[in-house]
Amino acid sequence: MSSYTGLGALIELEKTPSITNPAAVVRKDKQGIASTPSDHELDQMQWGKPMKGPTVTVQGAHTPLTPSELESSNPSTPTGKGAVDLVQSIFNPPRNKWRLLSVCFINFANGLNDSAPGALIPYIEKDYNIGYAIVSLIFVTNAIGFIIAAPFTHALESKLGRSRCFILSLSLLATAYVIIICKPPFPAIVASFFLLGFGMAINLALGNVFCANLSNSTAALGGMHGSYGIGGVIGPLVATAIASHGVRWSFYYVLNLATALFNLVFSAWAFKGYEKESSVRLITALQKTASRQETTEEEEGTSKKGLLKQAVKSKVTLLGALFIFAYQGAEVSTSGWVVSFLISYRKGDPSKVGYVSAGFWAGITLGRFLLSHPAQRIGRKLAVVVLVAGSVAFQLMTWLIPNVIGEAVTVAILGLLLGPIYPCATAVFSSLLPRNIQMSSLSFISAMGSSGGAVAPFLTGLLAQRAGTFVLHPICIGLYGVMVVGWVCLPRLPKRSE
């Protein structure tokens, strides 16, 4: 006992101090006087109130993301105090939800416009006493309008702003519809389709770029192009109902005129002040750092005239243009000529088989709403190959099944498979393209797509004049082959991490 006491006298036990955080860094001014930190200037660039510090709550087990999910995911947006939202979303800034709705309404109206000629062609031919080849000129001038608009879209957007560009686009559409409603000589009808192509090229490029640069771009693009499909369903139904009941076919375009005027007012309001909130401006400001100074100077040195040249030289732009050229060629050819095929080879009643075109567009609409997300889950590049292969199979069925009802079903399923291809492809192209040429590149791709939507139906009409409307199917199958070639030659998607 005494030895223990003596040992305790030699050893002094001390309590271990608790571990503390390092001392805070004190900011001092030039005179060496300590000062409290000020609010970060970038807080004033946020939409809404500055957000608090980043917090992440993890609950339960989490499955690691697959490579395809990482490939298709968008990088997270900074959420700490002093951070700035570089990537807009559907709800941030708040007016974006109205902008997306406006873009959807515009594309809905475009669907009404593009799907109607398939049901109206038999009545136009009868009214003007013309054949397949002559009536196909409306597809050609529509494509020429798209092609001519491509070099000007970016310049118009830079000079006029997003809101005024939509006003210009929809004013051209309204003018064309007034001409068609008056039922002038056929050359004037052909000229009006040029105005339709030019106007739609502008609003389609603006809408694609807006949706593709949102943080949830797949959902936005799916909604935008799904709305096009809804218009595509309604268009043939209304057109067939009007023309088959003895009403002059041109009165169908009163509906298009009304939607164009509504969209003109809505888009002008929705996109007013868009440039002040544009994420592109914020990114440009943030890029002026030491690490990005060289890149920024190069971007600023690029002239607006050189952007289209740079875009056209891009491998992604050229392959994307080839892909969409073939896609829209097959889509518009099927929509425009399948009714004539059923009348000629299946002895269908024009007042009834006109609704088959509506079934095709219904399939496209459902495909864009229902299959776009699963396509993203399995990987957009693989999904598109599978969808194209399925389209070939059902195009063959449409050609070979000797029954109107059976072919109506296969045409609808064909639309279902074709539907998600366009939004998936647009999302892939926007991921592969540099931001500074996105507008020019997507405008060029859209223009080439619409030229495909004119060349293929026009070629189908020429060959149908000599051989019969069955030529629709081998032409479409050949276009599917072109799509696959363009798709597999695209560069690999960059891997993105959060």
Cβ count within 10 A of residue 62: 7
Q: Which residue has the higher pLDDT, 278 or 497?
A: 278
**Cα 255 from Cα 235, distance rounded (Å):** 9
**What's the total number of domains in the chain?**
1
Eight-state DSSP code of residue 92? B
Give the list of residues 6+ apart from residue 478 with CB closer than 8 angstroms, or none: none
Tell me, what's the pLDDT at 236? 84
The domain that contains 258 carries what CATH number? 1.20.1250.20
Tell me, what's the pLDDT at 312? 80
Eight-state DSSP code of residue 42? G
Q: Give, for 34, the enclosing helix (H) or strand (E).
A: strand 34-35
**pLDDT above 70 coverage of the chain, percent:** 75
Residue 420 forms part of a structural domain: yes
Tell me, what's the pLDDT at 68? 56
**Cα 1 from Cα 43, distance rounded (Å):** 70
Residue 332 forms part of a structural domain: yes
For the segment 229-266, what is each residue's pLDDT rounded down to a tens digit? 889 889 888 998 898 888 899 999 999 999 999 999 99
As a whole number, mean pLDDT of residues 195-207 equals 91
Q: Name the residue type at position 421.
A: I
For the segment 414-428, what is each residue's pLDDT rounded down to a tens digit? 999 998 898 889 888
- The answer on pLDDT for 277 being more than 90 is no
Q: Work out the pLDDT band at 462, boundaries 50, 70, 90.
A: confident
Closest CA to 123 of 320, 311, 343, 323: 343
Tell me, what's the pLDDT at 80? 46
Residue 181 forms part of a structural domain: yes
Residue 107 forms part of a structural domain: yes
Q: Work out the pLDDT band at 161, boundaries 50, 70, 90.
A: confident
**C-alpha distances out from residue 232 to 152, 179, 381, 384, Å:** 27, 22, 26, 21
Residue 287 forms part of a structural domain: no
Q: What is the DSSP string of 225-292?
A: HHHHHHHHHHHHHHHHHHHHTT--GGGGHHHHHHHHHHHHHHHHHHTTTHHHH-HHHHHHHHT-STTT
Tell me, what's the pLDDT at 118? 78
Residue 292 forms part of a structural domain: no
Tell me, what's the pLDDT at 11? 57
Residue 352 forms part of a structural domain: yes
Tell me, what's the pLDDT at 9? 54
Residue 336 forms part of a structural domain: yes
Could you list the residue range(s) of the whole structural domain that residue 116 is in?
96-280+304-488
Give the list of residues 6+ apart from residue 407 with CB closer than 8 angstroms, or none: 342, 346, 356, 397, 398, 401
For the segment 467-492, what is each residue's pLDDT rounded down to a tens digit? 888 888 999 999 999 999 999 999 88
Q: Work out the pLDDT band at 372, boundaries 50, 70, 90.
A: confident
Kindly tell me the number of DSSP H helices and DSSP E strands found in the chain.
21, 2
Closest CA to 196 of 228, 179, 178, 173: 173
Tell me, what's the pLDDT at 305? 60
